[in-house]
Structure 1
Amino acid sequence: MKKLSIIALLMTVIGMLLWQPQLASADELTGHSHEKGLRYLISKNALVKDAKGSYRPDANVTRGEFASYLTKAMNLEATSDIVFKDIPDTYVHAKDIKLAASAGIITGYGDGSFKPNAAISRQHMAVMIERAINYLNIPKGTSSITFKDNAAILKDYRQAVAIGAQLEIIKGANGYFMPEKNATIGQASSFIVRLMQLAGDPDAAEPNGGNSNGGNTNGGDTNTGSSKYAVKEISNGTLVGNQGFSTFEAAEKAVTKNTQVIVQSDKIVKMSSGYVVTNNYVALKSETINDSLGVAANTEMEYLSSDATQVKVRLAGQVGYLKHADVTLIPFSMSKGRSYYENVNGEIKHTLYDYNTNKYSSSYVFGKAPSFMKQGEKYYSWDGIYFTNGNGSSKGEAYNYYQFLPARAQTQYTAQELDAYIMNKLAEVESTGVSSYKDATKKSKLIGLGKTLKDVEEKSQINAMLVLALAQHESAYGMSNQAQDLNNLFGLYVTDTNPKNKKFDSVVDNINELVEKFLQPNYITPGGSTGKNFANGAVVGSKALGFNVKYASDPYWGAKIAGHYYRAEKALGFKDAKNPYTIGITTTTGLNVRTGAATSFSPLFTYARSGMPVIITSSATNGWYEVLSDKLYTGKAFVSKDYVQVINTVK
């Protein structure tokens, strides 16, 4: 018995000695609420100590750090020529950021920057995580999960937050998500370890053997074995067959019919024809105008071609490339629904399709229907100008007057008429019973703006009704939180990737800032007087031309603004439409607008692009049109008649 006791005692002492290193290894992460995620990042060499020997678990995580964490956790390797102007090769996370961008996990800003040292908000992390979910082919389905502060989440990001919450990657507190709150390194680590658990990374698995959701599978495709790609055929709107290939190139060679597609984990990556839908907000680098365009989630684009890593698309004439993770390819024969136009009682109505729910979600009227549109038929358009029928046959060209009316036009309505219209419109929306419009006739920030709008029109030569239409759309008739709390009627400094809550002293100050810092110098003046390349035509337009190219990611933003103008006209008697401006479209690049009707006169400015709308104020004299200058200028302006085509607008 004594021998057994001694042996037991020795075993106890040995055991205590063996535990000493573990006790000694306790550090600042021991017992931390995000310890598992933090130690996971350390195991991936993603998280290292700073100069003071700390992992900084409670410090705000930056955009560059979070991109680096994802890159190392996902073991990303493929790179492309994507570069950001504010990330030199010497930047500590430069390689990881490039890898994440190449995989479509991150996108930069419209000016070509990434802002790696900026603290990242929780909603922007959610968007990156959704892209990672797509890249890893983690099944996600459609989610309707919302938080109590869902309205505070940027509209285009709500689905990403909902998907992350449904998969239990993202978690809020007491029912709130706090989208604009900066995330900590600890929170980021927990998001990532949960993501990688779903992806099947054994290093991220729970001690009990992992989560019940399983790892990254081949989407139930059991016949291809270890094959990465499969060729399938479209039959009655579904995919059949299962011919597996190890490379994209081998699968591509095996495609012999237009009805065949190439899939990767049941996601179509190549097809003969169809269209493309964005899964999330993306920055499309347009090769057509050599500029980056913000594009909202749920945007339909023309499919041109694709390879193993990217998809070539055309958005309203703008050609560029997007990563597979950012888009869904839909063959025409598998389409469950598409956004369409129709003639409803002589007006053009646009009905939008929501690809997250596979339902038609909303519609709006924005003008008179063109004469070729027959009632009861559906029409489709990539740019809101050229329309086809369901078979893809051309049906006609139509320029909506309000959508393509240059900003230098003057409305014929007085300040008093504008004020009367505003009050009638507020009474109308208030009567709907929608809670956000309660007491609109008393609280709206649009009340009494008639004189201010007409003063802007006289001083700055910008159409008062156009500014009002813009304000109505962007501020929910002056009742949005931005309008009510910050006097911000136009969403100034609020973008898809960088919301900024700037408060204006008054609505008048907000309007002046719109005119003096946005429209006048950058969106209307050709070339941009501040050097910013936002001037793509002085009209609200579409993604083809106009403010819409850069001002808003919603491809139908210009048409929706036009709809507000049209409805105001309808209520007030169509004064502007009954005495319309003549509008022309330029037909060449590098076209000079001059101070006189001859090439001997000095150029006022030059249109770098073709297809720019101009207001023609007199018939041609000696081969020259007199036009209204897009540059703020009180004298006469002229352009050669040979390079301008007069268009018939629908009004």
Structure 2
Amino acid sequence: MKKLSIIALLMTVIGMLLWQPQLASADELTGHSHEKGLRYLISKNALVKDAKGSYRPDANVTRGEFASYLTKAMNLEATSDIVFKDVPDTYVHAKDIKLAASAGIITGYGDGSFKPNAAISRQHMAVMIERAINYLNIPKGTSSITFKDNAAILKDYRQAVAIGAQLEIIKGANGYFMPEKNATIGQASSFIVRLMQLAGDPDAAEPNGGNSNGGNSNGGDTNGGNTNGGNTNGGNTNGGDTNTGSSKYAVKEISNGTLVGNQGFSTFEAAEKAVTKNTQVIVQSDKIVKMSSGYVVTNNYVALKSETINDSLGVAANTEMEYLSSDATQVKVRLAGQVGYLKHADVTLIPFSMSKGRSYYENVNGEIKHTLYDYNTNKYSSSYVFGKAPSFMKQGEKYYSWDGIYFTNGNGSSKGEAYNYYQFLPARAQTQYTAQELDAYIMNKLAEVESTGVSSYKDATKKSKLIGLGKTLKDVEEKSQINAMLVLALAQHESAYGMSNQAQDLNNLFGLYVTDTNPKNKKFDSVVDNINELVEKFLQPNYITPGGSTGKNFANGAVVGSKALGFNVKYASDPYWGAKIAGHYYRAEKALGFKDAKNPYTIGITTTTGLNVRTGAATSFSPLFTYARSGMPVIITSSATNGWYEVLSDKLYTGKAFVSKDYVQVINTVK
């Protein structure tokens, strides 16, 4: 019996040993270098098996998949009406892509697409991760971390890569980041799990319960502490207030350009009630989150959802905008009349009395000069001239404007309204310069930039992609009814006079398919093909034709304009892009004798929404098209007849077009 008992015991032990591996059987992720991240995504229902039963950890991750991973990991819920033309509702990740876009974490291409099935590069992931960092309010600093291949990282993306590396979310190999290399699903999962560890997601925590850096990822009590880091260094992030304990907000007063005092409060609402003077501000972690007056500067590229035109606008870092109000989570701003909301992590609030410098306009020898301020270095960084100065601008006085149209002086008093002729000249205008004159100007300009000695302009008179484009530009003007000088000005600006790498290597003069988040190195067979693509796929169907013939409405006025109206609303994130293009046109005019300015077009601005442009001067004629929004510039070609103006059609059309005089205001342009 004893032997039988021993044998039975041995058989039981052997059975257990044989059974145990089956309970914890290895799968394709066991021992994988990115196993932790992969299993984290699985736990969030972000990563599922394909039809063959595989998680595909070593396959390239697509843009759609990565957007979906972020959405599910961050538990995004708020949505808006942002849509991409190549992401139908039936697409597997459609909902997650929309949520990520609504949160400002992803943006699309200039043609309204997102390209969800395209493989995503490591540097593109870094940009999305930086936006996620901002969305999650994860503390970050300005990092100087670089990789051996830093020069290969697109300039606008280096900050995102550096911040991700500093926070140890992003890691390279042997000192290299490999920005253009496509990321795998496994790599993407590791990036995301590290991100969510910093955000305090318990599902992302290390097995020992600690942060990957050895500390508590929440910085304190998860039931009552600050989930954004709380006391990150063992001290109070409100500036050392020893009387308020765990206070999250402080009320401080502006005194001689600095903040003094430190009255602590546990909630934003309590701090708000304690503010009794215009000189007081509310501070969180040494960052102003509410003030009585001042302005707002973007810390990085942001997507501003404009409530004014119900559209999302790309806005570059270092952009100044009007401060309207703020609460604990967001800031209400106005950019060139476009009202929207941004997260505190995306912006810096600057009371007027604490401003160390601000971009301004001035009259210099009769020309309007715009000087820009760099908030990263706290220095004036650059300036440009873009036309004649309006008559109300006095030399030696600084002027300020949110939109380049309405100007105030240093006291905030209104000083005048000015529409720069070249900035608000509709694209259907024709320049009076011939192809030969354009070619002569191009060569003179190239000789000028070449003589500066700047290395990027070396041999410009021999190598520039602008050489000999006069006839092509005039052919475009005749066939497509788009101003040849305007197209040249755009090419000069976007291609550094035809000497940029994209121009030289890809025949891309206009930055086509290159956005702040998704550059695409598309090579054109020739600059002529590139110009035709600009006209046929961008300007004509989307930016000039009202309503957009492709179903994506980028038509906010057929002028280069500003963030208030024109191409600049959607074409470029730089709020002064339109003024800079106008500057190129103006300087060409100055060199060639001001032929266009001496025989100018009459320009009007529409004053109502839903305005029909008709084929005849009466409501009985069919509408040619409709302006959805007000404030659209039009070229008036004849004086009013029976209450109607004859105008140039923004839609490609050879016949006459008419609009009711009652809804158009003629403007005085500065030229």
Q: What range is the shorter-chain TM-score in?
A: 0.7 to 0.9
Give CA deviations for 1:151-174 in whole Å, capped at 9, x if unaligned: 654444332223223444333456
Contact 1:411 1:464 in 2 (8 A): yes
Contact 1:110 1:293 in 2 (8 A): no
Give CA deviations for 1:308-338 in whole Å, capped at 9, x if unaligned: 3322221111112222332222222222222
- Using a 3 Å threshold, how does the CA distance of structure 1 residues 87 and 446 change in structure 2: closer, same or farther? closer
Q: Does residue 387 of structure 2 align to residue 356 of structure 1?
A: no
Contact 2:60 2:185 in 1 (8 A): yes
Contact 1:593 1:603 in 2 (8 A): yes
Q: 630, 648, 651: which one pairs with 2:668?
A: 648
Structure 1 counterpart SS, 2:560: coil
Q: Does residue 470 of structure 2 align to residue 450 of structure 1?
A: yes
- Using a 3 Å threshold, how does the CA distance of structure 1 residues 194 and 594 change in structure 2: closer, same or farther? closer
Structure 1, 452-461 or 429-438: larger mean CA deviation: 429-438
Structure 2 counterpart SS, 1:41: helix
- Using a 3 Å threshold, how does the CA distance of structure 1 residues 485 and 230 change in structure 2: closer, same or farther? same
Contact 2:398 2:410 in 1 (8 A): yes
Structure 2 counterpart SS, 1:514: helix
Contact 1:104 1:323 in 2 (8 A): no
TM superposition shift of 1:498: 2.7
Contact 2:231 2:237 in 1 (8 A): no
TM superposition shift of 1:193: 4.7
Structure 1, 112-121 or 524-533: larger mean CA deviation: 112-121
Paired with 2:435 and 2:266, the residues of 1 have a C-alpha distance of 69
Paired with 2:316 and 2:615, the residues of 1 have a C-alpha distance of 40
Paired with 1:573 and 1:487, the residues of 2 have a C-alpha distance of 30
Give CA deviations for 1:325-380 in whole Å, capped at 9, x if unaligned: 32222222222222211122221111222223332222211111112112222211
Contact 2:109 2:515 in 1 (8 A): no
TM superposition shift of 1:35: 4.9
- Using a 3 Å threshold, how does the CA distance of structure 1 residues 437 and 531 change in structure 2: closer, same or farther? same
TM superposition shift of 1:451: 0.6
Structure 1 counterpart SS, 2:281: strand
- Using a 3 Å threshold, how does the CA distance of structure 1 residues 74 and 452 change in structure 2: closer, same or farther? closer
Contact 2:67 2:106 in 1 (8 A): yes
TM superposition shift of 1:401: 0.8
- Using a 3 Å threshold, how does the CA distance of structure 1 residues 133 and 460 change in structure 2: closer, same or farther? closer
Structure 2 counterpart SS, 1:311: strand
TM superposition shift of 1:565: 0.5
Structure 1, 163-172 or 487-496: larger mean CA deviation: 163-172
TM superposition shift of 1:89: 9.2
Paired with 2:454 and 2:8, the residues of 1 have a C-alpha distance of 76
Give CA deviations for 1:516-565 in whole Å, capped at 9, x if unaligned: 22212222222223332121111110111111111111111111110111
Give CA deviations for 1:182-233 in whole Å, capped at 9, x if unaligned: 2223323443454456567788778999999899966766554333333333
TM superposition shift of 1:582: 1.7
Paired with 1:101 and 1:517, the residues of 2 have a C-alpha distance of 24
- Using a 3 Å threshold, how does the CA distance of structure 1 residues 263 and 500 change in structure 2: closer, same or farther? same
Match in the other structure for 1:630: 650
Contact 1:262 1:268 in 2 (8 A): yes
Give CA deviations for 1:113-147 in whole Å, capped at 9, x if unaligned: 76665533322322233234334554433334455
Note the 1:278-297 alignment, pairs <5 A. Answer: 278-297=298-317
TM superposition shift of 1:250: 2.8
Contact 1:295 1:553 in 2 (8 A): yes
- Using a 3 Å threshold, how does the CA distance of structure 1 residues 461 and 63 change in structure 2: closer, same or farther? closer
Contact 2:603 2:633 in 1 (8 A): yes
TM superposition shift of 1:484: 1.7
- Using a 3 Å threshold, how does the CA distance of structure 1 residues 41 and 611 change in structure 2: closer, same or farther? closer
CA RMSD of aligned residues (A): 4.7
Paired with 1:262 and 1:100, the residues of 2 have a C-alpha distance of 30
- Using a 3 Å threshold, how does the CA distance of structure 1 residues 137 and 622 change in structure 2: closer, same or farther? closer
Paired with 1:337 and 1:16, the residues of 2 have a C-alpha distance of 75
Contact 2:108 2:518 in 1 (8 A): no
Contact 2:400 2:409 in 1 (8 A): yes
Q: Does residue 26 of structure 2 align to residue 34 of structure 1?
A: no
TM superposition shift of 1:299: 1.6
Contact 2:315 2:575 in 1 (8 A): yes
Match in the other structure for 1:298: 318
- Using a 3 Å threshold, how does the CA distance of structure 1 residues 463 and 122 change in structure 2: closer, same or farther? same
TM superposition shift of 1:384: 0.6
Structure 1, 161-170 or 412-421: larger mean CA deviation: 161-170
- Using a 3 Å threshold, how does the CA distance of structure 1 residues 636 and 511 change in structure 2: closer, same or farther? same
Structure 1 counterpart SS, 2:157: helix
TM superposition shift of 1:286: 1.7
Q: Does residue 507 of structure 2 align to residue 487 of structure 1?
A: yes
TM superposition shift of 1:626: 2.5
Structure 1, 498-507 or 466-475: larger mean CA deviation: 498-507
- Using a 3 Å threshold, how does the CA distance of structure 1 residues 112 and 325 change in structure 2: closer, same or farther? farther
TM-score (norm 1): 0.86
Give CA deviations for 1:555-592 in whole Å, capped at 9, x if unaligned: 11111110111111111121111222221212222223
TM superposition shift of 1:57: 3.0
Structure 1, 608-617 or 400-409: larger mean CA deviation: 608-617
Contact 1:110 1:283 in 2 (8 A): no
- Using a 3 Å threshold, how does the CA distance of structure 1 residues 422 and 49 change in structure 2: closer, same or farther? same
TM superposition shift of 1:300: 1.5
- Using a 3 Å threshold, how does the CA distance of structure 1 residues 589 and 46 change in structure 2: closer, same or farther? closer
Paired with 1:191 and 1:282, the residues of 2 have a C-alpha distance of 21
- Using a 3 Å threshold, how does the CA distance of structure 1 residues 117 and 595 change in structure 2: closer, same or farther? closer
Q: 619, 631, 634: which one pairs with 1:611?
A: 631
- Using a 3 Å threshold, how does the CA distance of structure 1 residues 562 and 175 change in structure 2: closer, same or farther? farther
Q: Percent of pairs identical after alignment?
A: 100
Structure 1, 296-305 or 79-88: larger mean CA deviation: 79-88
Contact 1:200 1:216 in 2 (8 A): no
Contact 2:330 2:344 in 1 (8 A): yes
- Using a 3 Å threshold, how does the CA distance of structure 1 residues 57 and 354 change in structure 2: closer, same or farther? farther
Aligned length: 651
Contact 2:124 2:517 in 1 (8 A): yes
Paired with 2:589 and 2:337, the residues of 1 have a C-alpha distance of 30
Contact 2:289 2:328 in 1 (8 A): yes
- Using a 3 Å threshold, how does the CA distance of structure 1 residues 63 and 349 change in structure 2: closer, same or farther? same
Match in the other structure for 1:276: 296
Contact 2:428 2:483 in 1 (8 A): yes
Structure 1, 30-39 or 152-161: larger mean CA deviation: 30-39
Structure 1, 553-562 or 66-75: larger mean CA deviation: 66-75
Match in the other structure for 2:156: 156
- Using a 3 Å threshold, how does the CA distance of structure 1 residues 258 and 103 change in structure 2: closer, same or farther? farther
Contact 1:137 1:265 in 2 (8 A): no
Give CA deviations for 1:246-287 in whole Å, capped at 9, x if unaligned: 333333223222222223333322222222222222222222
Contact 1:41 1:47 in 2 (8 A): yes
- Using a 3 Å threshold, how does the CA distance of structure 1 residues 609 and 24 change in structure 2: closer, same or farther? closer
Paired with 2:644 and 2:452, the residues of 1 have a C-alpha distance of 51
Contact 2:281 2:288 in 1 (8 A): yes
TM superposition shift of 1:86: 7.9
Contact 2:34 2:190 in 1 (8 A): yes
- Using a 3 Å threshold, how does the CA distance of structure 1 residues 75 and 418 change in structure 2: closer, same or farther? closer
Paired with 2:22 and 2:234, the residues of 1 have a C-alpha distance of 31
Structure 1: which 5+ residue stretches go unaligned? Answer: none
- Using a 3 Å threshold, how does the CA distance of structure 1 residues 172 and 366 change in structure 2: closer, same or farther? farther
- Using a 3 Å threshold, how does the CA distance of structure 1 residues 147 and 571 change in structure 2: closer, same or farther? farther
- Using a 3 Å threshold, how does the CA distance of structure 1 residues 86 and 443 change in structure 2: closer, same or farther? closer
Structure 1 counterpart SS, 2:368: strand
Paired with 1:257 and 1:98, the residues of 2 have a C-alpha distance of 42
Paired with 1:78 and 1:529, the residues of 2 have a C-alpha distance of 30
TM superposition shift of 1:244: 3.1
Contact 1:169 1:195 in 2 (8 A): yes
Structure 1, 243-252 or 173-182: larger mean CA deviation: 173-182
TM superposition shift of 1:243: 3.0
Paired with 2:536 and 2:301, the residues of 1 have a C-alpha distance of 28
TM-score (norm 2): 0.84
Paired with 1:643 and 1:115, the residues of 2 have a C-alpha distance of 40
